[in-house]
Amino acid sequence: MRSRLAIKRWSRQALFLAGGLVVGAAAVSMAFLADKAQEVLKALLQLSPYIGLALTPLGFGVSVLLARTVFPNSQGSGIPQVIAALQIEDQERRTALVSLRVALGKILVMTLGLLCGASTGREGPTVQVGGAIMHALGHRAPYRQGGFLLAGAAAGVAAAFNTPLAGIVFGIEELSRSFETRTSGLIIGAVIAAGLTSLALFGDYAYFGSTAAVLPLGRAWATILAGGVVGGLSGGLFIVIVTAFARGLPGGAGAAIVRWPILFAMLCGLGVALAGMNGDPSIFGTGYAQARAVVHAKADIDYWFAPLKFIATTLSTISGIPGGIFSPSLAIGAGEGSLLSLVFPHAPLGALALIGMVAFLTGVTHAPITAFVIVSEMTDDHAMIIPLMIAALVAQATSRLLSREGLYHALSHNFLARAQEKIA
């Protein structure tokens, strides 16, 4: 009897580790595809900035068409689908949200969106893809399948950002909102396996590069409060707008969007293209380049970047195309840090950028621990950890004035409702 239990335990651990390796490989592949898509777009825009006025709307229309007809449940970030799947007991309904078919569609259509200029990221999609891979393994094994799904999603975050600690924290704080000792070790094992795969292929690196930003104790700490409030309000506004469109606008406007979703997506794409006409290619895509430049204070400050990136990301999100908001949120936050330098010119720009990144990400997700842990790991800057903690708490309190729930959990209700309708 004991030998059977031991074999079962070790086989489960082997499946988690094997799944983690596959998730890590998938995350690296998605990073490669995302980078190449943005390189191609940048080359096209260098030929003529007006190319985006045709390419982006067309790409949005095709992406939404594929997401609605060929790969249903691949829309948006993918994190709300994972949250909903964790709460669904019916195996068929759960699989519909995190199947391998959905994962394949997520990768393909996410890449297409970035190629056409969508202001989206790959990290949220990596969570859904990671969850789908582990769910497929768990579906064929007599174990707790929720644990497999949670482990895959957490491993996806860890491998996407090269932030193993943030992956674990994200799984507990944002996805499950609980901690199960029976699966904690297995989740950590999957995160380790995914992280090792990323390390083997990409090497040891900090997502935004190592920084040494410091916020001197004293008057400069007023920037923490200001940054937290700005990030919280703008993040809360983002939630309000996105959830309003997700639930359906009232009146004729809402009816028109439901009737012509492809046309609406194309109009959103046109808006993104117009926002990107200012000449900064970081308005499109993840916004990584601009955010990194601000964090390291190696670029002229573009005070229009934050509002234009906010508009582009909002339009990309409400359009319904597959794509995440993690990276764009960090880019918006870095841009808001740049704006804070107008009021606090003597504060280090790098420190302002980190505060803005944590504040906006917290404002959107209502996951303060994940926000300050992930930014700290991505920049290898531990001197800022206390200011970032404070900024996260201020941003969460401020964002809740506009929305009681974070974006991912608010959107997950739609997927849960649809699952219940199908069961009924």
| Token digits of residue 51 | 């190319």
- The token duo for 359 is 């504040």
- Residue 358 token pair: 């944590």
**Tens of pLDDT along 362-378?**
999 999 989 998 898 88
- Bridge partners of 228? none
> Which residues are CB-neighbours of 394 under 8 A, at least 6 positions away?
224, 225, 227, 228, 229, 232, 359
| Rounded-to-integer distance, Cα 109 and Cα 76, Å | 11
Mean predicted lDDT score pLDDT of the chain = 85
Q: State pTM to two decimals.
A: 0.90
Distance CA 349, CA 384 (A): 13
Q: Where are the alpha helices (DSSP H) in 260-346?
A: 261-275, 288-295, 305-319, 326-343
Per residue in 286-345, pLDDT (tens digit) is 988 888 888 887 767 788 999 999 999 999 999 999 999 999 999 999 999 999 989 998
- From 107-116, 229-238, 287-296, the region with the lowest mean pLDDT: 287-296
Domains and CATH numbers, the chain: 2-202 (1.10.3080.10), 219-413 (1.10.3080.10)
What residue type is 44 in one-letter code? L
- Burial classification of residue 47, based on how many CB atoms lie within 10 Å of its CB (0-12 exposed, 13-18 middle, 19 or more buried): exposed
Contact call for residues 133 and 22 (beta carbons, < 8 A): yes
User: Mean pLDDT across the stretch 154-175?
Assistant: 78
pLDDT at 299: 64
41-84 residue pLDDT tens? 999 999 988 999 999 999 999 999 999 999 999 999 999 999 99
Contacts for 303 with CB less than 8 Å, ≥ 6 apart: 338, 339, 342
Quick one: average pLDDT of 98-111?
Answer: 95
pLDDT the model gives residue 181: 47
In angstroms, rounded to a whole number, what is the distance separating the alpha carbons of residues 384 and 71?
42
Beta strands (DSSP E) in 140-295 are none
Looking at residue 173, its pLDDT comes to 78
